[in-house]
């Protein structure tokens, strides 16, 4: 059969079809930034405020409206999570073709997987990791699970800001749903059958998804702890020597059995912070000798100064003029 | 514990030990009580000055330098006040300088600095 259109022409047509029709909104399309499973992200200009923002919109085909539901839920969840580590949502609405969209701060940075190549020091990488933990712990405190934490969902900005992105698979924790009257996060739009996140449905990214999540079981904050552990593993994967305490932290955070993992993100972050400060970590019990040595290393300078003082005193006593 | 108090306590303790070391010099042993008291007061003064400096200036290098300076100056003053032809400048100023250095380091590394007020809008 003769082809009427070239591949590039077909590609341009596909792009044009995917591009959102922003007529009737305050936004003007600038360029496409990326494409995810659910939809695309575009750089747009907010004509009312004269600034560029990122606009996320679902792909054209969404027959069962699952993606629309997810996108709106994501917008509602992020809008409630005001934290420096979570991209702020500015606006949400419907396009003229009925597709929902939301706009958020345009983050001009690099994905963690690219950024990490420019950060050789383990301590700097761990500081980034702690910032991720901060944002996730904040979300957990507000009853929100991310469920898709991975390096490509973390952006590092030009000024070192760390942002956890893509909350499309986020979900309210069960106990928070029960207490929704007092919960600080409104789950947003309700889908009658809620099949998108029901028991038995597998959503997430292999390699970063907890075993219980990959089995389609119900998950809690320990699933995010697992994903964070996998990110920690990613951050230290190319190091020739991983300290034993850090290896123990990694191992505990990605334990198959979730009862053996850190029970909260704060527990994991606390151990990583202790490791960074040269303090003992809960995942790696130390013997007395190791603890004593650690104390000496931590207090080495003033112990040396004290010894210098004693030595000076001793020298003055024993070599004083007779 | 705030830095000034930490400096005061550490300076006092080191001052006591500094004075007690005079016991190893038989010639001055009868005056050990006065020496210990004088040395303790010197340590307390040095400690509180260095601790106060650490509250105001957050710099390890400057803290150590200031501690060394205060320790040396106070030790120099003590040595200069010694009666008789021998002032023992070296014997008094070496440990005095080291005590100041230790207090300078410790007050920079440890102890609570001034609390800042939370910002509101």
Can you say whether residue A159 is alpha, beta or left, with left for phi > 0 and alpha for psi between -120 and 50 degrees?
A: alpha
The single residue of A62, A134, A148, A267 carrying the catalytic annotation is: A148
Return the higher-pLDDT residue of A184 and B112.
B112
Alpha-carbon gap, residue A86 to A162, rounded angstroms = 8
Q: How confident is the model at residue B89 (pLDDT cuts 50, 70, 90)?
A: confident
Q: Which one of A302, A313, A316 has the shortest CB-CB distance to B105? A: A302
Handedness of CA B88, B90, B91, B94 (dihedral sign): positive
Alpha-carbon gap, residue A288 to B88, rounded angstroms = 44
Enumerate the residues of chain A whose CB falls inside 8 A of the CB of residue B99.
309
Q: How confident is the model at residue A17 (pLDDT cuts 50, 70, 90)?
A: low
Average pLDDT over residues B101-117: 84
Q: Dump pLDDT digits (tens) for A63-102.
A: 667 778 888 888 888 888 999 999 999 999 888 888 889 9
pLDDT score of A321: 61
> Does A186 qualify as catalytic in the annotation?
no
Alpha-carbon gap, residue A321 to B96, rounded angstroms = 19
- Asked if the model's pLDDT at residue B121 lies above 70, the reply is no
Q: Dump pLDDT digits (tens) for B19-53.
A: 888 888 787 788 889 889 988 999 999 999 999 99
pLDDT score of A223: 94
Cβ-based interface (< 8 Å): residues of B facing A:
14, 18, 21, 24-25, 91, 94-95, 98-99, 101-102, 105-106, 109
CA distance B81 to chain A (A): 20
Return the higher-pLDDT residue of A133 and A202.
A133
Q: Which one of A302, A305, A313 has the shortest CB-CB distance to B21? A: A313
Alpha-carbon gap, residue A234 to A262, rounded angstroms = 18
Continuous H helices in A277-299: 288-298
Query: Does B21 contact A317 at a Cβ distance shorter than 8 Å?
Result: yes
Q: Which one of B25, B91, B98 has the shortest CB-CB distance to A305? A: B98
Query: Does A306 contact B99 at a Cβ distance shorter than 8 Å?
Result: no
Which of A29-38, A188-197, B2-11, B13-22 has the weakest average pLDDT?
A188-197
* Contact indicator for A176, A143 with CB cutoff of 8 Å: yes
Query: Does A309 contact B99 at a Cβ distance shorter than 8 Å?
Result: yes
Enumerate the residues of chain B whose CB falls inside 8 A of the CB of residue A312.
94-95, 98
pLDDT score of B120: 61
Among A278, A298, A310, A313, pick the best mutation site for testing chain B contact (most B Cβ within 10 A): A313
Q: Dump pLDDT digits (tens) for A162-212.
A: 999 888 777 776 544 444 434 444 445 544 333 344 444 555 677 899 999
Locate B11 and state its tokens: 């300076």
Q: Which of A115, A85, A116, A111 has the alpha carbon at shortest distance from A236?
A: A116
Locate A312 and state its tokens: 């000076």
Region A14-105: CATH code: 3.30.200.20
Query: Does B102 contact A317 at a Cβ distance shorter than 8 Å?
Result: no
Q: How many CB pairs under 8 A join A and B?
A: 31
pLDDT score of B7: 94
CA distance A314 to chain B (A): 9
Q: Which one of A302, A313, A320 has the shortest CB-CB distance to B95? A: A313
Can you say whether residue B101 is alpha, beta or left, with left for phi > 0 and alpha for psi between -120 and 50 degrees?
A: alpha
pLDDT score of A3: 63
Quote the DSSP letter at residue B2: B
pLDDT score of B12: 94
Query: Does A316 contact B94 at a Cβ distance shorter than 8 Å?
Result: yes
* Mean pLDDT, all residues of chain A: 84
Q: How confident is the model at residue B59 (pLDDT cuts 50, 70, 90)?
A: very high
In a 3-state reduction of DSSP, which class is residue A171? strand
Chain A segment 287-306 residues within 8 A of B by beta carbon are 301-302, 305-306
Domain ranges of chain A: 14-105, 110-276
- Asked if the model's pLDDT at residue A224 lies above 70, the reply is yes
Locate B23 and state its tokens: 């016991």
pLDDT score of A154: 94
Average pLDDT over residues B48-76: 94
* Mean pLDDT, all residues of chain B: 88
> What does pTM read for this prediction?
0.69
Task: Please check whether the domain covering A110-276 is classified as CATH 1.10.510.10.
Answer: yes
pLDDT score of A264: 96
Continuous H helices in A240-299: 244-253, 265-276, 288-298
Whether the ipTM is more than 0.85: the answer is no
A313 — contact with chain B (CB < 8 Å)?
Answer: yes
Enumerate the residues of chain A whose CB falls inside 8 A of the CB of residue B18.
313
Return the percentage of chain B with pLDDT > 70, whole number.
Answer: 94
Alpha-carbon gap, residue A156 to A164, rounded angstroms = 9
Average pLDDT over residues B3-26: 89
Return the percentage of chain A with pLDDT > 70, whole number.
Answer: 84
């Amino acid at each position: 059969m003769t082809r009427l259109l070239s591949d590039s022409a077909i590609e341009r047509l596909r792009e044009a079809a995917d591009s959102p029709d922003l007529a009737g909104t305050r936004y003007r399309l600038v360029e496409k930034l990326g494409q995810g499973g659910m939809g695309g992200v575009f750089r747009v200009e907010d004509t009312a405020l004269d600034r560029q923002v990122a606009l996320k919109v679902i792909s054209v085909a969404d027959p069962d409206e699952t993606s629309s539901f997810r996108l709106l839920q994501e917008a509602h969840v992020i809008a409630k999570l005001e934290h420096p580590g979570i991209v702020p949502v500015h606006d949400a609405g419907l396009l003229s073709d009925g597709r929902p969209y939301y706009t958020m701060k345009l983050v001009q940075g690099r994905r963690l997987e690219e950024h990490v190549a420019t950060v050789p020091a383990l301590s700097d990488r761990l500081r980034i990791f702690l910032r991720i933990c901060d944002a996730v712990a904040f979300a957990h405190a507000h009853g929100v699970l991310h469920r898709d934490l991975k390096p490509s969902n973390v952006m590092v900005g030009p000024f070192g800001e760390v942002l956890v992105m893509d909350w499309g698979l986020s979900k309210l924790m069960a106990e928070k749903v029960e207490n929704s009257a007092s919960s600080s996060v409104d789950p947003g739009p309700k889908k009658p059958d809620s099949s998108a996140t029901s028991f038995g449905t597998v959503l997430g990214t292999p390699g970063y998804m907890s075993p219980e999540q990959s089995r389609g079981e119900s998950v809690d904050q320990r699933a995010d702890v697992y994903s964070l552990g996998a990110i920690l593993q990613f951050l230290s994967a190319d190091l020739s020597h991983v300290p034993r305490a850090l290896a123990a932290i990694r191992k505990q955070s990605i334990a198959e059995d979730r009862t053996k993992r850190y029970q909260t993100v704060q527990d994991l972050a606390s151990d990583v912070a202790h490791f960074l400060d040269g303090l003992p970590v809960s995942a790696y019990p130390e013997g007395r000798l190791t603890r004593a040595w650690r104390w000496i290393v931590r207090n080495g300078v003033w112990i040396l100064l004290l010894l210098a003082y004693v030595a000076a005193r001793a020298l003055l006593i024993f070599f004083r003029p007779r | 514990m705030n830095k000034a108090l930490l400096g005061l306590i550490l300076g006092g303790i080191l001052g006591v030990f500094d004075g007690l070391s005079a016991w190893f010099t038989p010639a001055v042993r009868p005056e050990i009580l006065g020496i210990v008291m004088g040395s303790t007061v010197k340590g307390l003064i040095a400690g509180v000055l260095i601790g106060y400096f650490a509250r105001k200036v957050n710099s390890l290098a400057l803290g150590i330098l200031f501690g060394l300076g205060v320790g040396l100056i106070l030790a120099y003053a003590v040595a200069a006040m010694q009666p008789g032809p021998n002032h023992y400048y070296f014997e008094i100023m070496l440990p005095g300088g080291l005590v100041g250095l230790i207090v300078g380091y410790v007050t920079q590394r440890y102890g609570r600095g001034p609390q800042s007020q939370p910002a509101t809008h």
